[in-house]
Structures are given as structure tokens and as C-alpha cells.
Structure 1
Amino acid sequence: MSLRRTIEDATGLALTDADVGRALRELFPHDAAARAAHAPAPGTPAFDALLDLLVVPESWMFRDPAVFEEALRFVRARLADRPDARLRILSLPCAGGEEPYSVAMSLMRAGVDPRQCAIDAFDLSHAAIARARSGRYTRNAFRGADLAFRERHFTHADGHWTVNADVRAYVRFAQANLLELDAAALAGRYDLVFCRNLLIYFDEAATRRAAAVLAALLADDGLLLSGYAEAPALCRNGFTTQGARQVFALRKETDATAEPVPAARPRARARTVPPQPAPVAPQAPPARARATPQEQLAQARRHADAGHLAEAEALCRALLARLPELADAWFLLGAIDEAAGRIRAAERCWRRCTYLDPQHYEALCSLALLHEQLGDSARGASFRRRAAQAYERRGGAA
């Protein structure tokens, strides 16, 4: 078995021979013979070092603030219902600890004691876990406009910020592979699971395995917070969306929540909207005289989220008539087409979007998932790789 296949089987990561070759050259920069002959076995230090070079454990504090607001809403409701319970939260992958520490700071701000809520944080990368345990960060970990939390919860010295002990008290870090967790021993352990921007690196088979493990780990009435790319795939594998917020909050699918999975993947933020026939010459509602293109686009998104697809489409088309170079409008128009069942029209819109913005992460994810649904796994994998590259270039922002 090739080294690439060994890594894929062990981790679920969909890699190319070029990916593995680059990592081997970095691991053995001055020894071509070792690169040619060496195939590190799983469980060895060399294999772990190779994995550290293949994963992308980059994040920052409070990345996607709405996700942490949703998590806090869930925790508060859970504790109100079960005041004597100790909630358990899982962050996987946790990268360098930015996500679990952000959760801990949110809990502290809300007055939730560590004795009420504990966080397990796992990552495949040994190097990432070592960095998380050190709790030491550079300015790259702080990217938002509001950094007041940094002054409250970190100590600054020598150009680094180190997380304070009261935040650390919530979190336990461990190196772990999602696909190798003992799902039976951990069954139903977690009330809340963060699993964001991991499955973009998995093929369909590994995604199914991962979804099964996540479903086992999550309590039957628990909540899974996923990334954009994961939500449709998870909804094909035992989960269902909750609510219409922009956060991708999922529940385990039960007899009470199960819905037929449509043949073509619906856009996550319009998932509950049934397909509608194509509108006949829709008229765009009048926009405010001083509305900017971004404000008009936001209005179109609100219509789409509410299920008013005809109005959303009219706004998008009116906007694109004036600004045909607006990639985000093409993306939203594609999402509207998909929700209405016009799959090929959606594909054309998303392709136009990626022509205008080759690094448009959401459009690349949508194209990957669409082609996988249509049975074109090779083209889906190509778009998935491009999405992963775009994700890395923009610093891990989903």
C-alpha cells in the first residue's frame, strides 16, 4: 500500500501524491534516499511528524462570532433545564486551541463555572496540541475589531499573549484522530460538539465514517456546530439542520426529525424551503435610493433566508444587471437556483462566481458538493481541493 493511501486510511484526509511528496521533502530536506525509501508507519514519531506537515491547524480567537453566540444560547438553555448537570463540550479539530479557549471565555463572560461545563479539545496534530497547551499566541490569533477580551484573559510579554489560568480551567487538550475515537465508550458523552472545516479535507467515504462517529459522540438531544462545507454532507449522513440562523447548527436525525434527502443538495441557509417553480418575470422590489450594493445583497439574502425566493432572485438579477462583476451576487443567485431545484442554473452561477473570484470558498464548496451529488466524484474532488486551498489562503476563515 502506498504511503498516501496509508495516511488516507488512517486519517480520512484526501491527499495527492504531490501533497505527500512535499511533506516528505520537508521532513527529509537533505536526504533524497531517505525520502525514496522511508515510509513512516502509523503510530511512529516519523508518521506523526509527517501528519503535522499535512494538516492546516490555523485559526484565531472568536472566528465567526455568531457560532459562539449560538453555543452560549444552547448552554444557557441546557443549564436552565438541568441546573445540576455538568455539560460536556467537544472541539474537534481544535487547531492551536483558539476555538476551545474562545468557548471558555464566552462561558466565563456568561457566569458559567468550569464545574458546570467542561471542554474537551482534540486535534490530529501533535504540534497543534502542544501549542494549545502552551496557550501562547502571536497577534495573528487576534483578528477582530473588538479585542477587549484579550486584555481581560491574556497576559502580554515579549510580543506574545498567554491565556490566563482561569480560562485554562475549562479545557482539557489531547491529541486524537476522530476516526479512531472509541465511539462506543464515548457514546452520548457530549452535549455540544464543534466540528468545523474538517470534512472539506475528506472524501465521501471518510465523511460517512466521520459522521457516524460524531453521531455516536453527540447526545441524542445535543447540538453539532459545523462549517459551511460540512452541513450538507452531514445532513446526508444522519443529521438535520435546526432553525434558519446563519450558523450551521445540526441535530441528530431521529424518527421525529427525519426528512427525505433531496436528490440535489439544498443550500444550507435555505434548507427548509421546498423547491419552487421558476418565477415568471419577477419584478424587483424598489430598493432604497441610497442603498449600497452590499446592502442590496444583504436584503436579497434576507429574502432567501425567509423563503421568498422570487423576491431574492429579482434583487440579485437587478444588482447583476448593474454590476455583473459582483461575485457574491452570482453565488447567492446560484443558491437560490439550487433551492428552487434548478441545479444546472445553480452550477452556471457558481462557475461564473469562481471565474470572477477564483478563491471564492463557498462557491467552490458548493460546486464540489453538487458534483459529488451528481456522481462526478473526480470533478467534485477537484473543486474540494480548490476549496481547501482557498480556505488556507484566507487564513482558515469559513
Structure 2
Amino acid sequence: MNTLQKIGQLLHQKIGLSVKTVGESSIKSAVRTRMAKNNITHRQDYVNFVETSTEELTSLIEECVVPETWFFRDCEPFEYLKTKVLTLSKKYPILKLLSMPCSTGEEPYSIAMTLLEAGLKPESFKITALDISEIALASARQAVYSEYSFRGIQNTSIIDKYFTNVNSEYILNDQVKQQVKFQRSNIVDVTNRHLSQHYHVVFCRNLLIYFDNKQKELTYQNIHKMMVPGGLLIMGHAESTSTPASLFANCAVEKTFSFTCRDKNISGQEQQAKNTKKYAVDEITEKYTTKPFSRYLKYNQTNNKETIPKPTIDPSSAIEDAQTLADQGKFDLAIKICEKYTSNDQVNDEAWYLLGLINDGQGRTDYAEKYFRKTLYLNPQHYEALVHLSLLLKTNGNESAAKQMMQRANRVKKSSSQTNSASQS
């Protein structure tokens, strides 16, 4: 084994980095740079040095993995996150989100701003941001950025809202900074502390492209262990095709590279109990699948004149069933349940709202707008529908209507808070 192979093996053991994916020339260049900075002329001497110095190994890793990040990179995942967290926040009082690798902080801070813009209160979510690089983490904690970090942002109002420009440096405000906790960590050596966190949202973009297949598989398994069933995973474009369907269901929302975490595999008595739950997919499907011919035979044999009754569907059960299927990425089935239910009951606002969510998530914005408006026709105080419709109108370029909807949402939220305060006093 030559010296370069030894260094490659060391990098693979420590951070899962594959020489083949990064490129041998990149590793050579990084080694040359570090040798020059340490006044080392022979490569074997450098191998001996890096094997015994944790500090030098960290410096070599930072030289090999050059961060490439900016605020709201690939805006679609953040737009989708806006809509998804409104649903998740109804189920979980405090959302836990993870960004890895977080680099110099642009991604986790973008996540924080997205949630604040969606109307979530600061105390309703926590963001953990992990990276192997101490230099990157120090920069992230400082939260001072140049104009280059904002490339690609179309709407500069968000910069004015959350940053202070001082001598061409953009200083992030404390409200956003306080939402993110930075930690030095390595996904390869991920600790039980992170595995037991049960995150609701995980961003893991442009990390696995550096790994070989074995390391990718291990990383996906670790991510799956970290997440709650139905949680949202955002991957990078190049990694999305390798995401295992056995662990994550593709959300099928264009340009978001998003996935839903499937239920954890369980066995024995727990598996048997799980199979008897009313939310099992096959049972849900059976419940809403009509079999007119067999039912006609049944009633016709007992009483030729008897009218075939319509099946009764409990409203809350139907909506929960549809939501469960949507969380598992089975959107077509979820839509069928909602449509079947709304054909019998036109006045349940939650059924129409869920139809709006699913269609919005799949990019059918015209249908989504129609269903959100139907929701608000039935329930003008539906806060989530107001927020979603506002975001949808803004995306479609109707800034004036979007602003009006958001103002309505804020009035509803304020009224609800006052009502809750009065009831508690």
C-alpha cells in the first residue's frame, strides 16, 4: 500500500470519504498543501504525522472537503418545507430539525428563517447543525456573511428582515441565531445521542456523493434511525436517486428531492399488534374500496327489494386514514379517500384542506388553490389554509392577494391566542 492509499484509507475510516468519488488528484492536492504548511518534504513523514495528530487530520479533512453553500440553495426544498412543517406542527408541539453537514451555517439558518416565515413561533422548533470542520463551525456561529452567500435569492426583502448590513458584511440577527445549535460531529461515528433524537425533518444534502456504496447504506440506516415515521428527509439532487425505497418514500414533489421516513421495522408481538391497527395500509385500502357486484349479490339474496345502503364513514377516521397514507407517500390513495368522503359530506373543511395539501405538494397548484379556497369557504378561520393559500399566491406572483391572505391569517392567529389566554385565566 503506497502513502496516498494509506491516507485515503484513513480518510475513509474517519469520515467515510471515498478517494474514487472525491478524486485522487483532489486528495494529492490537499496533501501537498498540508505538507507545505507543516514544512514536510516526504509523503511518508506526513502519513506518520497525520496518523498521530488529530488536529492535523482535521486540517486535512477540511482541505479535502471544500464547502459550497449559500442561503436558500435550490429554493424548492425550502418552499416545500414551509408547507410540510405546518402539518407536522399540528402533530408535534416542538419540531426537531437536523442539518448535516451544515458547513458555514447558511443551510440551518435558511431552515430557521423558513419556519419563522411560515408562522412558527421560535419556541416551537429546535435545529441541530452538525459538521466535521471546526473552521466551518466557528464561521457558522459567528454568522457574518458576504454578499456571495446570497447568490440566487430573488426576494431580497428577507435579507433586510433578518440581516444588518455593516460595511458590506451581513450580520444575522439573534432571533435566527438562537434557533440553531452547532455541534462538531461525524455522520460515520454518529452517536447514540443523535440516533435517539427522533428528528421530524432532516436535511442531508451533498454529503453522500463523497461516499462509497457501503458507507451510503450505513448513512441511510443511521438517518432512518434518527427520524420519526412520517418525517421529512431532504437530499441533494445527485443523491436522490440512490435513496432506498425500503426506508424512505419519495414525496414526488418536483425539484425538492424530498422523502418521507417509513415506519421502523419491528418484529414479533409488536409486528402483530401493528398489523391489527386501523391505519395499516391494506386495511385502509380495503375500507374504502367499493365492491358493488358482490354487495349487490349479498343484499339481493336476502331481500330483492332492499336498497343497497351507502357505507358510513366516520369523518375523523377518514381524514386520519388519508393523512396516514399521505405521510407514507401514498398520495393517490389518500386523494381517493378524501374524494370519496367529500362526495358524501361537502361541509368538512379538514377533508378539503388535506386535498389542498396533497395537490400543492405534488405541484398541482391550480387544484390546490381551489381546495384551499373551498376550505376557507367552509371555515374562514382556518389558519393553516390561509397560510398555505398565501404562500401559493405568492409563488404564483400574486403578491397583493398573498399579503391579504397572510394578514387574515395573522388576525386569526391573534384572535385564537387571545381566546386561549382568556380561557386559561
TM-score bracket for this pair, using the shorter chain length? 0.5 to 0.7
Distance 1:244 1:200 in 2: 22
Contact 1:212 1:237 in 2 (8 A): no
Residue in 2 aligned with 1:22?
Answer: 29
Distance 1:52 1:120 in 2: 21
Distance 1:201 1:127 in 2: 20
Alignment deviations for residues 348-384 of structure 1 (CA, whole Å, 9 cap, x no partner):
xxxxxxxxxxxxxxxxxxxxxxxxxxxxxxxxxxxxx
1:214 aligns with 2:223: yes
> How does the TM-score come out when normalised to structure 1?
0.61
Residue in 1 aligned with 2:7?
Answer: 3
Relative CO higher for 1 or 2, CA cutoff 8 Å, sep ≥ 6? 1
Alignment deviations for residues 150-169 of structure 1 (CA, whole Å, 9 cap, x no partner):
11111111321111101111
What secondary structure sits across from 1:174 in the alignment?
strand
Aligned AA for 1:9? Answer: Q
Contact 1:194 1:226 in 2 (8 A): yes
Change (3 A) 1:95 1:184: closer
Distance 1:237 1:7 in 2: 29
Change (3 A) 1:209 1:135: same
Gap regions ≥5 residues in structure 2 = 266-279, 283-328, 331-362, 365-425
Distance 1:81 1:245 in 2: 25
Counting aligned pairs with the same residue, the percent is 29
RMSD across aligned C-alpha pairs, in angstroms?
2.7
Count of residues paired in the alignment = 262
The residue correspondences of 1:1-398 to structure 2 (distance < 5 A) are 2-15=6-19, 16-29=23-36, 31-33=39-41, 35-39=43-47, 40-41=50-51, 44-82=54-92, 85-143=93-151, 144-183=153-192, 186-187=195-196, 189-235=198-244, 238-254=247-263
Residue in 2 aligned with 1:315?
Answer: none
Aligned AA for 2:113? Answer: M
Change (3 A) 1:80 1:19: same
- Aligned-pair CA distance for 1:237: 6.0
What secondary structure sits across from 2:136 in the alignment?
helix
Gap regions ≥5 residues in structure 1 = 259-270, 273-304, 307-398
Worse-superposed segment, 215-224 or 38-47: 38-47
Distance 1:3 1:166 in 2: 42
Aligned AA for 2:10? Answer: T
Change (3 A) 1:181 1:42: farther
What secondary structure sits across from 2:181 in the alignment?
strand
- Aligned-pair CA distance for 1:36: 3.5
Distance 2:187 2:194 in 1: 14
> How does the TM-score come out when normalised to structure 2?
0.57
Aligned AA for 2:13? Answer: D
Distance 2:235 2:65 in 1: 18
- Aligned-pair CA distance for 1:177: 0.7
- Aligned-pair CA distance for 1:132: 0.6
Contact 1:92 1:121 in 2 (8 A): yes
Q: Could you say which structure has the higher helix fraction?
A: 2
Worse-superposed segment, 151-160 or 33-42: 33-42
Alignment deviations for residues 129-160 of structure 1 (CA, whole Å, 9 cap, x no partner):
11111101111101122211111111111321
Change (3 A) 1:236 1:76: closer
Distance 2:183 2:42 in 1: 31
> Which structure has the larger Rg?
2
Alignment deviations for residues 243-301 of structure 1 (CA, whole Å, 9 cap, x no partner):
3433111123348789xxxxxxxxxxxx99xxxxxxxxxxxxxxxxxxxxxxxxxxxxx
List, as ranges, runs of 4+ consecutive aligned residues in structure 1 with deviation greater than 3 Å: 253-258
Change (3 A) 1:115 1:4: same
What secondary structure sits across from 1:178 in the alignment?
coil
Residue in 2 aligned with 1:289?
Answer: none
Alignment deviations for residues 58-102 of structure 1 (CA, whole Å, 9 cap, x no partner):
2111111111111121211111234xx211000111111101111
Distance 1:138 1:18 in 2: 30
Distance 2:211 2:8 in 1: 13
Contact 1:93 1:122 in 2 (8 A): yes
Contact 1:215 1:252 in 2 (8 A): yes
What secondary structure sits across from 2:126 in the alignment?
strand
Distance 2:29 2:220 in 1: 29
Change (3 A) 1:80 1:103: same
